Amino acid sequence: MSRRGQRYKEPAEPTFITVRVESLVFGGAGLARGADGRVVFVAFAAPGELVEAQVEREYPDYIQAVTTRVIEPSPDRVDPRCPLFGECGGCQLQHMSYPAQLAAKETVVREQLRRIGKLDDSVVRPIVGAAEPWGYRNHLRFSTGKKYGDVGYIGRKGYGLLKVDSCPIADPWVSDLLPKLQGHGAGLHQVQVRYSAETGTGLINPAIPDVPFETGQKAYVEELAGRRFDVSASAFFQVNHAQAEQMVRLVGEALPERGDLLIDGFAGVGTFAVIFSDRFERVLAIEESNSAAKDSERNLAQAPNVEMLVGKVEDILPDLEVRPDAIILDPPRPGCAPPVMRAILEFQPSTVVYVSCNPATLARDLRILVNGGYQLDSVTPLDMFPQTGHIECVSRLTFIGLPEAPEGPDEDAVEPDEIIVDEPGLE
C-alpha cells in the first residue's frame, strides 16, 4: 500500500514506455499520458520532451517512472552539475536551466490555484528567483554508514547510502567540511550541520570524536533582517539566507504598517514576531515545538511587546479572546487544520499573510478564506530551494465581508474540513 492507501505494483521485469512530457507537477516530476490513458509521472524529464522511461510503480490510475533516455530533448535541458544527480533524492531539477525551473514552478502555482482552489490565477505575481541558485543551503542532515563511517545521502528510492564529498547546493562551508567528516560517522544515526555566514557560527551535531574541529554544539546564531536569533539543533529556521531575506521583504510588504495586535501562527523561534514587532502594539506568537519556543525566550528579549504561547495553533487560536488586526500563517506542508481556518473566519482580521511550502494545501486554504469573505490580493512564488521541486509562496488576503446571502440553503457551501487535496502526483 502507498502512504495514501492506494495499492501499487512494481513490474516483475524492467518495463519501458515512451511518453511526451506535457508539464512539471509539484515535486518536480514531468506529467505525461500513457498509452492506456493513465497519467504518468516521469522523474528527471523536462516539459516538451519525448523520453523513454522505466516504470517503477503502477497504481490503478497513474504510473511512476524515471527517465532512462531522452529521445527529443528540450532546449532548456542542461548537464547536471552533480555527479549523483538521479541517484540522490535531494534534487529533482538540475537537468533544467534555472530560468526554465522558475517558469515551471510559477506554472505549478498557477495550476494549483486554478484546479484545487478554483481561484483566478491573475493574482499570481512573477516568481522571485534566487540570485545564486547554487551553494545556498546552510542546513543539511547526512546519513551515515555503519561499517566504514561514510557520510552522505540516502538514495532516491529511500535506501542505500551515497557517500558525498561535496554537494553543489550546500553552502561552501558545509561542502568544505564534508571530506573531513568521512570515516567518522560509524555509530551515528545522522550528522546535522548548520551554519550562518552572517554570524560566523554553526553547529555539528551530535558530538563526533577524533575530528580536528568542535562538534556537539547545542545551538548557533542566525541573523535575518538585522535581527539575531538563537537557534537550537532541533528548531526550524529557513535554510537559504538570501531567499529568507526576500521572504521577509514580501511578508513586510503584505502586512499593515501599523496595528494593535499581530498574531504569528507557527512562529518557530519567533522570527516574524520579532522582525515585525515594531509595527504593532502587541504580538502573540504561537509555536508547538518546545525547543523552538525555548529558543524564543531569548530571542523575544529584543521585542518586549511579543508574548509566546506554546502549543498547537489549532488548540490555542480558537480560544483567544482578542481580535487581531493581522495574522501570519506559516504552517508545515499539510497546511492549516480546520479549527485554524474557522477561527480566522470568526475573528476576521483585516489582513492575513499566508506563507506556504505546499501550493496544493495553500490553494485549499485560500479557497476557504475566500469563501469566508476574504479577497485574495496576491500570491508571490519564491524559489527558496533552487534545483529542487519545492516551492514557497507568500500570499496576502484582505477581509471585505461576505455578499448578502441569498434566501434558502447554499448547496455549494463547503465546510473547511470537507475540502481535500487530490492524489500526490496531481498536486
Q: Is residue 340 part of a domain?
A: yes
Q: Could you tell me the pLDDT band of residue 4, with boundaries at 50, 70 and 90?
A: low
Measured between alpha carbons, how far is 414 from 295 in angstroms, rounded to an integer?
Answer: 39
Q: How many domains does the chain have?
A: 3
**Is there a single domain that holds both residue 170 and residue 291?**
no
Torsion of CA 254, 244, 296, 272, to 10 degrees: 0
Extract the C-alpha cell encoding 20: 511526451
Measured between alpha carbons, how far is 30 from 46 in angstroms, rounded to an integer?
Answer: 6
Q: Is residue 97 part of a domain?
A: no
- pLDDT, tens only, 328-350: 999 999 999 999 999 999 999 99
**Is there a single domain that holds both residue 36 and residue 67?**
yes
Residue 170's pLDDT is 97
Q: Give the contacts of 295 (CB within 8 A, at least 6 positions apart).
A: 219, 229, 230, 231, 232, 235, 269, 270
User: Is the Cα torsion angle 53, 57, 58, 59 positive or negative in sign?
Assistant: negative
Per DSSP, what are the bridge partners of residue 42? Answer: 30, 65
Q: Is residue 168 part of a domain?
A: yes
Question: DSSP state, 235?
Answer: S
Above pLDDT 90, what percent of the chain?
A: 86
Between 2 and 135, the more confident residue is 135
- pLDDT, tens only, 291-301: 888 888 899 99
**Is there a single domain that holds both residue 123 and residue 171?**
no
Residue 5's pLDDT is 56
Residue 297's pLDDT is 86
Which among 166, 201, 196, 200 has a CA at the least distance from the CA of 181?
166
Which of 232, 266, 300 terminates a domain? The answer is 232
The parent domain of residue 408 ranges over 105-131+240-426
Q: Is 357 a catalytic residue?
A: yes
Question: CB burial class (10 A; 0-12, 13-18, 19+) of residue 318?
Answer: middle
Q: Give the pTM.
A: 0.91
Which of 232, 267, 286 terminates a domain? The answer is 232
Residue 405's pLDDT is 53
Residue 10's pLDDT is 85
Which among 298, 269, 267 has a CA at the least distance from the CA of 284?
267
Q: Is residue 92 part of a domain?
A: no
**Is there a single domain that holds both residue 218 and residue 266?**
no
Three-state helix/strand/coil letters over 44-96: CCCCCCEEEEEEEEECCCEEEEEEEEEEECCCCECCCCCCCECCECCCCCCCE
| Strand 39-43 to 30-33 pairing | antiparallel
Question: CB burial class (10 A; 0-12, 13-18, 19+) of residue 363?
Answer: buried
The cell 507537477 sits on which residue?
25
Catalytic residue among 82, 88, 167, 357: 357
Asked if residue 421 has pLDDT above 80, the reply is: no
Asked if residue 423 has pLDDT above 60, the reply is: no
**Is there a single domain that holds both residue 252 and residue 218?**
no
Measured between alpha carbons, how far is 79 from 253 in angstroms, rounded to an integer?
Answer: 38
**Is there a single domain that holds both residue 297 and residue 227?**
no
